[in-house]
Amino acid sequence: MAEESVKFGVQTEQPIEDTVVKVFRCSKVVKGGRRFSFAALVVVGDHSSSVGIGYGKANEVPQAVEKAVKDAKKSMHTISLVDGTLPHKIVGKCRATQITMVPASAGTGVIAGSSARAVLEFAGVHNVLTKINGSTSAKNVVKAVMDGLLKLRDKETIESLRGVEIEAVKRW
């Protein structure tokens, strides 16, 4: 499914892709046995600095995934990236989960667990190192990665906020 985005007056086609991070099954015991319901955690993005996460619940898996994709498309955000990596080191937090994301040199790849990898790859990050401290539940990890990505600021933004010119130091 392709959606059009307008950047700097030029129309480009950016296909929005999605992936299911995890499907959760819940059961309720009733008179006739067990009744199951499902929840899906989904990440959507265009692999070039736009990413969103969604969560949907239904009695069948396909409907839960469909609801989650719809929710994720509503919550899409644009991320500041520099040459396929992060502009600076950042720590994202969600409840008992803390994830540290460090920019890496070209060719390193995405060194992360499956939940964090999904968000980072759909955001367009190609080189990053990550470390999760605390809880590793998929819901918290995905939210913590999004928290960290939304805190990122590029050099131009910081210069305009502070009103001074910053000299970039490349450390890797």
Mean pLDDT, the chain, whole residue set: 90
Exposed/middle/buried for residue 168 (C-beta within 10 Å: 0-12, 13-18, 19+): exposed
pLDDT digits (tens, 9 = 90+) for 84-113: 999 999 999 999 999 999 999 999 999 999
Higher-scoring residue by pLDDT: 166, 172: 166
Report whether 66 contacts 42 (CB < 8 A).
Answer: no
Higher-scoring residue by pLDDT: 165, 41: 41
Domain with CATH 3.30.230.10 in the chain: 79-162
Q: For residue 143, which of 58, 48, 22 has the smallest C-alpha distance? A: 22
- Domain 2-77 falls under CATH 3.30.160.20: yes
Q: Which CATH class is domain 79-162?
A: alpha beta
**What pLDDT does 128 receive?**
96
Domain with CATH 3.30.160.20 in the chain: 2-77
Q: In what order do the strands lie in the sheet with 17-30?
A: 17-30, 33-45, 50-58, 77-78
Q: At residue 158, does pLDDT exceed 90?
A: no
Rounded distance between C-alpha atoms, residue 96 and residue 84, angstroms:
29
Q: At residue 148, does pLDDT exceed 80?
A: yes
Q: State the pTM of this model.
A: 0.87
